[in-house]
Amino acid sequence: MRKARIKLRTAVCLALLMLVGCSHSVVAHNGETTVNVYPSKQQFDKVKSMKSQGGAAGFLGGLGESMLAKQIDNNTPVKILSSDDEGATIEVLDGAEKGLQGYVAKDNLD
């Protein structure tokens, strides 16, 4: 009887931890209503680098961003699959892009 209660409590704790891990969402800034989700960290880095150069490279980086990145709505729930100092690889949990996996900048995550 005691072992059964311990197993039940353990299962409940694990279930709660899994739910807590999924309580993230994307956050748009500066009056925007969508957030860019890049196919990969490498493409995110490439666009970021080009945009920071300014001039023609910055213009091309902006074009690359609009072509590469998917737009998802502000406050869309996501699951963080992995993260680093600049952002995270996420999976969209709801909305039109449900199931989409990609990379999002750190400041666009809640």
* pTM greater than the 0.75 cutoff: no
Measured CA distances, 24 to 7, 58, 70, 79, 81 (Å) = 28, 31, 18, 6, 11
Structure token digits, residue 73: 């709505």
pLDDT attached to residue 48? 84
Q: The tokens 């409590």 sit on which residue? A: 9
Q: Is 37:27 a contact under the CB 8 Å cutoff? A: no
pLDDT digits (tens, 9 = 90+) for 25-45: 999 999 999 999 999 999 999
CA nearest to 103, candidates 67, 70, 61: 70
